[in-house]
């Protein structure tokens, strides 16, 4: 049985953009099976569903380096996919565990050697991105703001909130990843979400 994060998710046919982050992932079992067999469409389905979640998680966990960490995580996924066996739930746990380890490594490397102010040359001359639709802009702003608010939580608590809410991992899996008891995870996530829900800024922006 796949993980349903926040109740039932709307039908995929109703979506006009990317997949909803945190959606139920029973269909991903089939995509995972096809991806393991080398089917590109299966891999793309996996990536489209999980990569946005991964980016949002890493924007909290690996600040400023989230895209690189995500890319390295996916490279490890495609490398080791043939040796993976399990369902979509296990794959998600595997993916986010690898991402978390890489984020930790990146943070250690950054601490060991402060970053130089060398601009990313790919940003030079890059054409402006197309203006998103109004609805997407509103969603984007609220998502950006929500992630910024999660960053203000204590790091461990922010980690657990993102793994639980965005990655959609269940409590025992999150507990195993962060090395805490399931009860501690449940309480910490609950308190974190409650603190966020009471924040007046996010209410003024999203509502």
Partner 1 sequence: MRHRDDDLSPFREDPVVKALTAPATEAELAHEPDALAAFRGASPVPPQRRRSAARVATGTTVAVLTLAVSGGVAAAYTANLPDSWQQKVYKQFHSIGVPAPKHHTTSATTSAPPTIAAPAPSTVTTPSPSSTRAGTPKPTKTPTTEPSATTSPQPTSSLPVTVPTPAETAPTSPTTSPTASEAPAPAPGGQLQIRVSPGNRVSAGTQLTVAGKLTAPDGTPVAGRRVALVERVAGAPGRQRLATGVTAANGEVTITGPSAERNLRLVLRAGHHVRSEVQRIVVIPTLNIQVPSTPPGATAVTVTIMVSGGQAGDVVVVRGPGARDGRRATIDSSLRTTFTLPVSQTQSLHYRAIVHRTRVHAGHSLAFYVPASGG
Instruction: Using CB under 8 A, count the residues that bind partner 1.
Output: 95
What minimum distance in Å lies between the beta carbon of 159 and partner 1? 14
Identified binder of partner 1 from the candidate list 31, 58, 88, 162, rule CB under 8 A: 162
H or E segment and range at residue 190? helix 182-197
Tell me whether residue 142 or residue 156 sits nearer to partner 1 (CB atom).
142
Any contact of residue 37 with partner 1 (CB under 8 A)? yes
Binding of partner 1 by 103 (CB under 8 A): no
Select 47 or 156, whichever has its Cβ closest to partner 1: 47
Q: Which of 6, 43, 10, 1 is nearest to 164 (CA)?
A: 6
Q: Is 155 in the site for partner 1 (CB under 8 A)?
A: no
| Residue of the chain from 63, 104, 136, 155 that contacts partner 1 (CB under 8 A) | 136
Nearer to partner 1, 82 or 156 (CB): 82
Tell me the closest approach of the beta carbon of residue 1 to partner 1, in angstroms: 10
Q: Residue 32 in contact with residue 88, Cβ under 8 Å? A: yes
Q: What is the nearest approach in angstroms of partner 1 to the Cβ of residue 123?
A: 9
Q: DSSP class of residue 167? A: S
Site for partner 1 in 55-84 (CB under 8 A): 55-56, 67-68, 71-72, 74-76, 78-84
Burial class of 72 by CB neighbour count within 10 A (0 to 12, 13 to 18, 19+): middle
Does 94 engage in binding with partner 1 (CB under 8 A)?
yes
Would you count residue 27 as binding partner 1 (CB under 8 A)?
no
Residue 73, token pair as written in the block: 């995580």
Residue 164's closest CA among 34, 22, 48, 2? Answer: 22
Sequential DSSP letters for 76-120: HHHHHGGG--S-HHHHHHHHHHHHHHHHHHHHHHHHHSPPP-PPP
List 2, 26, 36, 107, residue binding partner 1 (CB under 8 A): 36
Distance CA 196, CA 105 (A): 28
């Amino acid at each position: 049985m796949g993980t349903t994060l926040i109740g039932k998710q709307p039908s995929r046919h109703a979506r006009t953009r990317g997949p909803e982050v945190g959606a139920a992932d029973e269909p991903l079992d089939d995509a995972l099976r096809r991806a393991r067999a080398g089917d590109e469409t299966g891999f793309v389905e996996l990536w489209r569903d999980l990569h946005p979640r991964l980016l949002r998680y890493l924007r909290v966990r690996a600040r400023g380096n989230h895209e690189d960490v995500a890319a390295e995580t996916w490279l490890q996924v495609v490398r080791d996919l043939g040796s993976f066996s399990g369902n979509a739930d296990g794959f998600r746990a595997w993916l986010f565990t690898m991402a978390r380890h890489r984020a930790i490594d990146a943070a250690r490397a950054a601490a060991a050697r402060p970053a130089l102010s060398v601009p990313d040359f790919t940003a030079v001359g890059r054409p402006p991105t197309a203006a998103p639709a109004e609805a997407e802009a509103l969603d984007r702003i609220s998502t950006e703001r929500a992630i910024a608010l999660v960053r203000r939580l204590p790091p461990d608590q922010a980690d657990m909130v993102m793994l639980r809410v965005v990655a959609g991992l269940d409590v025992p899996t999150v507990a195993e990843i962060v090395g805490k008891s399931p009860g501690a995870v449940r309480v910490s996530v609950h308190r974190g979400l409650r603190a966020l829900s009471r924040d007046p800024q996010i209410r003024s922006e999203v509502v």
